Amino acid sequence: TKPLTVLGIETSCDDTTAAVVTSDRKILSEIVRTQHHLHEPLGGIVPTLASTGHMQNLPMVVREALEQANKSINDIDCVAVTRGPGLPPCLSAGMNAAKTLAAVAGKPIVGVHHMEAHALTARLTTENAMGDHLPAPAFPFMTLLVSGGHTLLLQANAVGNYDQLGSTMDDAIGEAIDKASRALGLKWAQGRRGGPGVALEQAALKGDPMRYDSMLPLPLSEREWTKKIGFSFSGLKTAMMRMVERQNITNNEQGVADAAATFQSKCIQHLEQKLRLALDQSIKQQNIPLTALVVSGGVASNNVLRSRLEVLAASYGLPLICPPPKLCTDNGVMIAWAGIERYQAGLIDDYEITTIPKWPI
Ligand code: KG4
Ligand code: ZN
């Protein structure tokens, strides 16, 4: 049978993205229009401004996605769009574009949960810590999503069926990393996606991760938390910012490297500790035949994190798989792919579909 060709649209945050992907795992096009330059000077994303940007950009972004794929809308089998969670006016901009397009062209529409899309990306294309291509993981698998907006541990059982085992109680890991990077006075190219995290990883290369060990707490390691899964990065972030200020670390290159290395190490240790609890629970207590540990999101491009989690996964007999960094950030490809998986599972929506800005998975 002919493979499905799906158009995916994602506008849950500040990037306007669209892509065309086929069910035989070919990415035919991928268009990303960022609004970083608009929001960065304002110190954060302004939802109404972002949605205006989406409404301006969407027609050309979708048109370019079709052109780059060498397809017309008639060649598309289905339109997939992020339904939630996300910023309400931003989701609406993408949803209205997608369903109008689908209805006019007489194509089915599939609404996709943003986090489901992140989790399913691993089944489109994968690599290990060395960048080698690996076979797609079969259900069930464990996935850790670590980015600027999310810190989430999911057990993926089947398309549309996930158990959320833990999430952050305060800051997302990437948010904390970005604040730490800024506090250290690290430099990166303006508007570069993931810049602060990359700068922190770079600085940590020459640092001693034990230098400030006693000054930065390991989150949620207190007695009442030793057996509980959850994440917290705000305490660690605040301790880091206070330490940098009190010790006048920014004046001293080795101090900056050591602080970056210690902070990075604590973040990773925290993830490792809670991942072990989750894997013990699923594999040892519930006998769930997990096939892989998937790690995704902007922070998953950190090489220290990748190599440490590869060792952890191996100790449970699991491969570690990470989508390539480009697909770890928000993009239309992941929405198109999740749309394909949902379509194939018969999970098709109708043209009255609405957004769900707050949507537990
Ligand atoms: O998934 P992502 O690109 O976008 C959003 O969440 O919107 O994640 C971005 C986050 C940022 O916090 C960035 O600092 C972090 O991922 N990041 C990294 C690295 N590359 C990106 N953190 C640590 N090490 C890296 N190499
Ligand atoms: Zn995301």
Assign residue 55 the CATH number of its domain. Answer: 3.30.420.40
Q: Would you say the CB of residue 148 lies under 6 angstroms from ligand 1?
A: yes
Ligand 1 centre distance from Cα of residue 349 (Å): 32
Testing ligand 1's pocket by substitution, the residue of 90, 147, 182 carrying the most ligand atoms inside 8 A of its CB is 147
Q: How large a percentage of the chain has pLDDT more than 90?
A: 83
In Å, how far are 107, 217, 268, 295 from 265, measured between CA atoms?
49, 11, 5, 17
**Per-residue pLDDT tens over the stretch 237-294:** 999 999 999 999 998 999 999 999 999 999 999 999 999 999 999 999 999 999 999 9
Q: Would you say the CB of residue 323 lies under 6 angstroms from ligand 1?
A: no
Ligand 1, atom 8, lies closest to the CA of: 298
**Per-residue pLDDT tens over the stretch 189-227:** 776 678 899 999 999 999 999 999 999 999 999 999 999
Would residue 241 count as lying in a domain?
yes
Ligand nearest to the CA of 116: 2
| Per-residue confidence band for 127, with pLDDT thresholds at 50, 70 and 90 | low
Same domain, residue pair 47 and 92: yes
Q: Dig out the tokens for 347 from the structure.
A: 């999970």
Same domain, residue pair 55 and 184: no
Same domain, residue pair 295 and 187: yes
Same domain, residue pair 140 and 74: no
Atom of ligand 1 nearest to the CA of 193: 3
pTM of the complete model = 0.92
Residue pair 47/88 in contact (Cβ under 8 Å)? The answer is yes
Ligand nearest to the CA of 331: 2
At 85 the pLDDT is 94
Same domain, residue pair 86 and 22: yes
| Model confidence at 3: pLDDT above 90 | yes
Q: Would you say the CB of residue 149 lies under 6 angstroms from ligand 1?
A: yes
- Mean predicted lDDT score pLDDT of the chain: 93
Ligand 2 centre distance from Cα of residue 118 (Å): 7
Q: Would you say the CB of residue 137 lies under 6 angstroms from ligand 1?
A: no
Higher per-residue confidence, 214 vs 330: 214
| Per-residue confidence band for 128, with pLDDT thresholds at 50, 70 and 90 | low
Ligand 1 centre distance from Cα of residue 14 (Å): 15
**Per-residue pLDDT tens over the stretch 70-109:** 999 999 999 999 999 999 999 999 999 999 999 999 999 9
| Per-residue confidence band for 303, with pLDDT thresholds at 50, 70 and 90 | very high
| Per-residue confidence band for 328, with pLDDT thresholds at 50, 70 and 90 | confident
| Per-residue confidence band for 32, with pLDDT thresholds at 50, 70 and 90 | very high
The domain of 136 spans 126-322
| Model confidence at 126: pLDDT above 70 | no
Ligand nearest to the CA of 300: 1
Would residue 355 count as lying in a domain?
no
281: number of Cβ within 10 Å: 15
Q: Would you say the CB of residue 168 lies under 6 angstroms from ligand 1?
A: no
Same domain, residue pair 29 and 67: yes
At 315 the pLDDT is 98
Would residue 149 count as lying in a domain?
yes
At 322 the pLDDT is 87
317: number of Cβ within 10 Å: 8
Testing ligand 1's pocket by substitution, the residue of 299, 301, 327 carrying the most ligand atoms inside 8 A of its CB is 299
Would residue 361 count as lying in a domain?
no
Would residue 240 count as lying in a domain?
yes
Same domain, residue pair 214 and 101: no
| Per-residue confidence band for 9, with pLDDT thresholds at 50, 70 and 90 | very high
**Span 319-329, mean pLDDT?**
86
Confidence check on the interface: ipTM exceeds 0.95, yes or no: yes
Q: List the beta bridge partners of residue 93.
A: none
